[in-house]
Chain A
């Protein structure tokens, strides 16, 4: 049985980050964009926590909590906007959101 070390966590984090990144770039649904963003943030959280544990320094874990808190508030605001948008236009397609175009 292999010992699970820092590298494994970092690899997991990287994989998750890449998944999130591809999601951000590819998905056209605003809700899916939020999911991808959450995946990105949590990928970072994993590496924070892992590195924090590795060095025995709690700063990283505290920072992860901050990230979680910020992510929660971001989603709260974002979802609110999303619902308003959906009510008005009947979809949440990214390509249709170009009213700010100059």
Chain B
């Protein structure tokens, strides 16, 4: 079994290094093919491990080598494959394989084809380190690795200024959060003397409540950055500047869920501090609603999906915060499948529409893009939580968990958000695929994506439909290590009312979206209609003015501070000192250059001067030695 662990972990690395060899050369199809094959190998190994673990096998725990061993600190390169990490491994490798194959088609005409595959595989490797590590230090390395790869991939089109800006924004926001996480890790080491999960969890039981709260909060700050929770959420929407396969893999399915993974992995910590858990749940609920509201009006296809990702991450945190860790993990898995599918579908649409992102300029695409239409509709149904698709099982369980724990506010908000989710998802589907062919006004001739791209998407398509059937098996697998509470509401009638009520509510939202946007007569909004003049529309389309506020308060003042430091401190003090020293050296050199006349006679005279100077020094020294007894301070 260890063999499979190594293959699962290192195949992506090999893939990345292999593609990296060709980054300076023109497009080579085989980098994509070999990369996809190696990631597929990793998927296969992960599935073997999954079958092993799901079949009741022992978790695999091994130490590759010692990483740090100084004094009491001992951190190995240790890896663990247990119920949680194997789930993550399968999710990551499944989506990665699909995205790799899909990207062969999507990046078909891109000059950076080989480079793209190198980065993409490097991301998978970092993500595998993150989920497989058996200690917080290794997790942090993976955490930083995915951050780096995310930066590389958001800014993949380096000639686009908006892309590089978005990449930097994502990186810097994550750095801020990572500082919090690092403090959390330091606190863990400080208080327990170890970073190994199982040892630290044992030690947590003896720590006092306030210390645990501190650790929990600081770790969660790291999770907030990676999973783009309020107030560090602005980077995720801007990260859509990257290529669409990247959005599907990193900013929907895997990296952004790392924060949820961290909370799930540290479940033994968070179950000791339910007050922090409640905070996490409340924040998650808030973000679910907050992000969904922004998705309602946005006119950028990818941003709508990004906000929906944000909203779904909120659901996951709500579940994890309430102690329903397995529900959070299950929703993470289901969400990865249908959200990646949605993004890849959006990628097909973008390809067809020549990178047009405004759904108001599309319409009627279902005639030319039948399969993309079907896939995106199913993915949206799954996202909305309609029976019997994947989202129904996971999302409904989150609602049940909130209800069963009597957190009625959280339940109410999440239920309302489910309606919003259905509305904005189908607003998008209706605008893109139904109604009149508005794209004709812009002279675009859309075409369906390559066949193998559609085939590559099909595993996600199938999983988005059937992932719900894994619920029971999944529950029994993870109940060994996650505090597995099945959420039973005592009265069957209540359960049925809730289920049906939710379904009807969501269904009505979908019908309303179709009614509003699938009809004819939709025009491209030009900012003059009554709705667009409304206060709420302006608030939402401007993302609650948060990016403006950040720009005004943080970026501008930081820029002013930097400018002041540059002009006052750097130029006038640091530069002046360094330049002064250089000036002295240069000046003396220039002044004494005349000595080197090349004339033997002159040089001999200088030699004599040198001898005299040395002799005088010797005399002074000798005198100093002789009288040192009488001179205090001359200790020669």
Contact = CB atoms under 8 A, between A and B. Distances in A.
Contact of A25 (B596, B599, B608): B608
A70 interface: no
Nearest to A30: B600
Nearest to A21: B608
B176 to A, nearest CB: 56
A88 interface: no
A98 B596 CA distance: 11
Contact of B605 (A25, A98, A100, A102): A25
A5 B598 CA distance: 44
A94 B608 contact: no
A100 B598 contact: yes
A101 interface: yes
Given A24-B608, A25-B608, A94 B601 contact: yes
B612 to A, nearest CB: 9
Contact of A101 (B597, B604, B605, B608): B597
A94 B600 contact: yes
A86 B132 CA distance: 85
Given A21-B608, A25-B605, A101 B600 contact: no
A97 interface: yes
Interface string B558-600: 0000000000000000000000000000000000000011111
Interface string B11-52: 000000000000000000000000000000000000000000
Given A21-B608, A24-B608, A25-B608, A101 B598 contact: yes
B596 to A, nearest CB: 7
A28 B605 CA distance: 12
B599 A24 contact: no
Contacts of A95: 599, 601
Contacts of A25: 601, 604-605, 608
Contacts of B604: 24-25, 33
Contacts of A98: 597-600
Size band of the interface chain A makes with B: 10 to 19
A96 B608 CA distance: 21
Interface residues of B, number: 9
Nearest to B601: A94
Contact of B598 (A21, A24, A28, A102): A102
Interface in B305-336: none
Contacts of B597: 98, 101
A74 B605 CA distance: 21
A54 to B, nearest CB: 20
A23 to B, nearest CB: 10
A90 to B, nearest CB: 18
A101 B598 CA distance: 5
A56 B289 CA distance: 107
Contacts of B596: 101-102
Interface string B603-623: 011001000000000000000
A97 B602 CA distance: 12
Nearest to B607: A24
Contacts of A94: 599-601
B601 A28 contact: yes
Interface in A44-84: none
Contacts of A28: 601
A94 to B, nearest CB: 5
Interface string A6-28: 00000000000000010011001
Contacts of A33: 604
Nearest to B604: A24
Nearest to A101: B598
Interface string B138-155: 000000000000000000
B597 to A, nearest CB: 7
Contacts of B599: 94-95, 98, 101
Contacts of B598: 98, 100-102
B605 A97 contact: no
A97 B608 contact: no
A40 to B, nearest CB: 11
Considering residues A25, A33, A98, which has the most beta carbons from chain B within 10 angstroms of its beta carbon?
A25
Nearest to A99: B598
A65 to B, nearest CB: 24
A102 B603 CA distance: 14
Interface in B141-181: none
A101 B603 CA distance: 12
A41 B111 CA distance: 78
Nearest to A24: B604
A21 B605 CA distance: 9
Considering residues B596, B598, B601, B608, which has the most beta carbons from chain A within 10 angstroms of its beta carbon?
B601
Nearest to A36: B604
Considering residues A21, A100, A102, which has the most beta carbons from chain B within 10 angstroms of its beta carbon?
A21
A102 B508 CA distance: 92
Nearest to A25: B605
B60 to A, nearest CB: 71
Nearest to B600: A94
A97 B600 CA distance: 7
A44 to B, nearest CB: 13
A24 B605 CA distance: 8
Nearest to A22: B608
A21 B600 CA distance: 14
Contacts of A97: 600
Contacts of B608: 21, 24-25
Contacts of B605: 25
Given A24-B608, A25-B604, A100-B598, 7 more contacts: A33-B604, A94-B599, A94-B600, A98-B600, A101-B596, A101-B598, A101-B599
11 contacts: A21-B608, A24-B608, A25-B601, A28-B601, A33-B604, A94-B599, A94-B601, A98-B597, A98-B599, A100-B598, A101-B596
What 8 A-B pairs come out closest when comparing CB atoms?
A101-B598, A98-B598, A94-B601, A94-B600, A25-B605, A24-B604, A97-B600, A98-B599
